[in-house]
Structure 1
Amino acid sequence: MPVISAPHEFDVSDLFVDLHPIFARHLYLKVEGFNFAGSIKLKAAREIVAQAEAAGVLGPGSTLVESSSGNMGVALSMLAANRGYRFVCVTDSRCNAATRRTMQAFGAEVHTITEPHPVDGFLGARIRYVQEMCAADEKVVWLNQYEAPGNWMAHYSTTGPAIASKFPELDVLVIGAGTTGTLMGCARYFQEHRPGVKIVAVDSVGSVTFGGAPSPRHIPGLGTSIRPGLLDESYVDTVVHVEEPDTVRICRQLAANGYHFGGSTGTAVAGALAWMQENCADRSTRAVTIAPDLGERYLDTLYDDNWVRDTFGATALAGDEERNEGRAAR
């Protein structure tokens, strides 16, 4: 058991779940929620902050500010608390209450945007607020996770190599797309070191990341209303779009088997299964996807029947009764 002196020094990087017993596919899930920030965003936050400090952009008296739907905000809140920075997270009304309270527990200030920009949605409104903060105070530093090279570099040096080492015969790597930092870092690594591995990006319906039509989205994590500056589609072989009710169903199916994950995991697994259903008739293809966080921050949303019913309709709960019956029979 390691002994640490700073919270960002601990991160479980070698845990994978074999999903074959649940979905009858050779699909493996890299679990990234076991660290003190509770998500994969710790890797990017740690690298972006380190690069900013090395460049002299961050220093004593600096105030960090970032736009985040949740997990990056929590990771930066933790790092800011440990390193003595003031931190302001600019989020929006889709950020769940547990995430907001976690940031505040670390000492962060949370500003919640309640009205989307008419063209660029909630993300556009958040970024405009961040820019106003920077213009008003020269001590405010925007790390800009949507364009910071440290975002993808963190995964090029950690996540990609960890997957490649564990799965030397991997066929497909399926990555959910938010800021696209994880996607770009892993895709770059595999193109250089294992070019035969197919890269599949998973996005939410309603996201504009890959040119889709914008529409309301309710689950934070994946998808954007502004195309991320980090994205280079030349590294991506194909894109799968997932409806949010499918995210809910997969999350609940995983939970019915004892695995409690967040919304981005449900979306990524749904996308991976859809791609494998269409492209892997012989069921021999070996694929890996990523679980960015765990499920406790989503108890009031994805795992609340009333929220699901009010948000997506009763059909989004279809299958729960059968899963519960199957669980009781075991």
Structure 2
Amino acid sequence: MTNSNEHNVYFGSNSLKKYFNPDCQPPLPLVELPEYLNPFYDDGVRIYAKMMTMHPANNVKAMPALNMLESSVDSNKTKTIIEYSSGSTVISMSMIARVIHGVQDTRAFLSNKTSDAKLKLMQFFGLDITLFGGPSQPEPVDSRGGIQSAHRMAKESDEIVNPNQYENDNNWQSHIRWTGPQIFRQLPEINVLCAGMGTSGTMTGLGTYFKGVKPSVMRLGVCTAAGDRVPGPRSYALMRPVEFPWKEAVDAIEEVGSVDSYSLSLKLCREGLVCGPSSGFNLQGLFQMLSKRKAAGTLSDLAGSGGITHCVFLCCDLPYQYISEYFQKLETEEFPPIRNERLAKVDLHRYDEAWERDALEVLPQVYASARPLEQTLLSQITLKHLHRVLDLRQAADFNTWHLPESINISLSSLGPHMRSPFSDSAVLESQWVELEQIFRNERLVSDLGLHHVLVVCYSGDTARVATSVLRAKGINADSVRGGHHALRMHGIGRKMSVTAECSTSKIPIATAVSVSTVPP
């Protein structure tokens, strides 16, 4: 297996086809774990991650998908691909079917117990999904399951292809064709190879390949612990009906639980090797085997020349579709806390810098005056038609002075010396909740919806929050940047002598809201 694309560039009308073709790519990375991730480093063990995640399809199933479709798709007949798959295989098939074969219709048959994240991921990649009840990992020969349903459907039409990863020898032979030769070319010193077993295709292909090119390599297969579940691999009991020659391709089997799998995957991700739970699963299986060998005094039997044992495990897919499961499987202490988490449920609406206006810019749009506002008594300016001014300050401060014809909606959560809602999460939470409650009033919102609304407060920050709430309700609202502090700094209101008179005639509003206006 050779290619001359050392610069990893893909040109021309067939660029995508070349990009997906391993024969046109440099080999996928093989990365040694640093000493702090390798508990057997001082025992002469070197561990390498084969990053199958770096294929364009981002998972180990891309190789089988390529090989199976190449041998089964007829470009003159095939219109639809159908596969029973929990995720990676059929997602890879959908991309490869489009890119390599021009087939647009790929359909996924899968368990009704599939996570919502996986279902959305498949929809994202354009897959037509059909769910099936029963076991999440049905036996391939079970006529009641989705595997055989896909097989039967393909028999009914020459336009439908069911590659059937569970029985198709091109599944495991893809790793003889590509993955095995890549690893051997990258690390001819290899002594141990470790891979998980689901369809068993990966382990069957790699184990068969290394039995031929370097029989001394120990081939370790990893199955899920009985009664546990890791996405992708199967328990040893479920391997019984698999017809691939996997038994001849492995020398030892380890069983691994989900907690260790997710924990090691998390650790690898945080150290820069981004990979999913089945990758942690493979590494944990390797750790278990090495630990047993060390305890039995036979670890050195695996070593090659120089007394070093070179081990390769496969990183199979990415973690993102399993994020919620990491939080379900692992202890809370594994994850940093979210500070100000209370804000996740409040302040949910959009902000826009254009809605926060300088006083000297916005007031001339709201008020009519013969002279510049800063040179005019507030008693000499009038509110323009179809405008409202909402003042959120406490009633006592509002009554001391305010913009003409303002409506006072006093917030109990707002005071003249209160911290900004943007520096205190508790303040923001209480103010947002109160504003949402106030602006649920249909009569109030209906009236405001007919006007351009200007919101003011002490510093401008609470008004900014209120503007976000109002805009979310479809009201054309702005706030004064800096609030009444900015108005006073500009000299607006310095000679104000009018006294507020209580009136509710300007706006229909619930009696729970304090309303004051200055008559025109």
Contact 1:12-1:34 at 8 Å conserved across structures:
no
1:301 Cα deviation after fit: 1.8
2: CA distance, partners of 1:98 / 1:294: 13
Contact 1:203-1:239 at 8 Å conserved across structures:
yes
Deviations 1:282-305 (A, max 9, x none): 674321110011222222222xx2
1:62 Cα deviation after fit: 3.0
Mapped pair 1:251 → 2:265: yes
Question: In the alignment, which residue of structure 2 is the partner of 1:140?
Answer: 160
Contact 1:70-1:220 at 8 Å conserved across structures:
no
TM-score, L = length of structure 2: 0.53
Q: 1:196 to 1:216 in 2, by over 3 A?
A: closer
Question: In the alignment, which residue of structure 2 is the partner of 1:209?
Answer: none
Mapped pair 1:274 → 2:276: no
Contact 1:33-1:291 at 8 Å conserved across structures:
yes
Question: In the alignment, which residue of structure 2 is the partner of 1:300?
Answer: 324
Q: 1:319 to 1:173 in 2, by over 3 A?
A: farther
Question: In the alignment, which residue of structure 1 is the partner of 2:123?
Answer: 104
Mapped pair 1:161 → 2:172: no
1: CA distance, partners of 2:177 / 2:200: 15
**Paired residue type of 1:293:** D
Mapped pair 1:221 → 2:237: no
Mapped pair 1:24 → 2:39: yes
SS in 1 for 2:131: strand
Q: CA RMSD in A?
A: 2.9
Question: In the alignment, which residue of structure 2 is the partner of 1:78?
Answer: 95
Q: 1:118 to 1:172 in 2, by over 3 A?
A: closer
Question: In the alignment, which residue of structure 2 is the partner of 1:327?
Answer: none
Deviations 1:163-216 (A, max 9, x none): 11222222111111111111111111111110111111111113xxxxxxxx35
Question: In the alignment, which residue of structure 1 is the partner of 2:110?
Answer: 91
1: CA distance, partners of 2:284 / 2:152: 38
**Paired residue type of 2:20:** H
Contact 1:116-1:122 at 8 Å conserved across structures:
no
2: CA distance, partners of 1:118 / 1:318: 29
Using CA pairs below 8 Å that are at least 6 residues apart, which structure has the higher relative contact order?
1
- Of the three residues 206, 211, 219, the one matched with 1:199 is 219
Mapped pair 1:9 → 2:33: no
2: CA distance, partners of 1:29 / 1:189: 18
Q: 1:156 to 1:23 in 2, by over 3 A?
A: same
**Paired residue type of 1:109:** D
Q: 1:319 to 1:249 in 2, by over 3 A?
A: farther
2: CA distance, partners of 1:118 / 1:49: 23
- Of the three residues 54, 66, 77, the one matched with 2:83 is 66
Deviations 1:5-37 (A, max 9, x none): 335236663312222331233211100112331
Instruction: Return the index of the structure with the highest Cα Rg.
Output: 2
Q: 1:244 to 1:192 in 2, by over 3 A?
A: same
Contact 2:140-2:148 at 8 Å conserved across structures:
no
SS in 1 for 2:145: helix
**Paired residue type of 2:128:** E
Equivalent pairs: percent with the same residue? 23
SS in 1 for 2:54: coil
1:94 Cα deviation after fit: 4.7
Q: 1:61 to 1:200 in 2, by over 3 A?
A: closer
Deviations 1:107-163 (A, max 9, x none): 320122243289849987221332343355453221111121211121102111111
1: CA distance, partners of 2:115 / 2:55: 19
Contact 1:13-1:32 at 8 Å conserved across structures:
no
SS in 1 for 2:311: strand
SS in 1 for 2:325: coil
2: CA distance, partners of 1:153 / 1:183: 10
Contact 1:12-1:32 at 8 Å conserved across structures:
no
SS in 2 for 1:249: helix
Q: 1:115 to 1:49 in 2, by over 3 A?
A: same
TM-score, L = length of structure 1: 0.81
- Of the three residues 268, 273, 277, the one matched with 1:263 is 277
Contact 1:113-1:122 at 8 Å conserved across structures:
no
1: CA distance, partners of 2:83 / 2:219: 29
In the alignment of these two chains, the number of paired residues is 301
SS in 2 for 1:145: coil
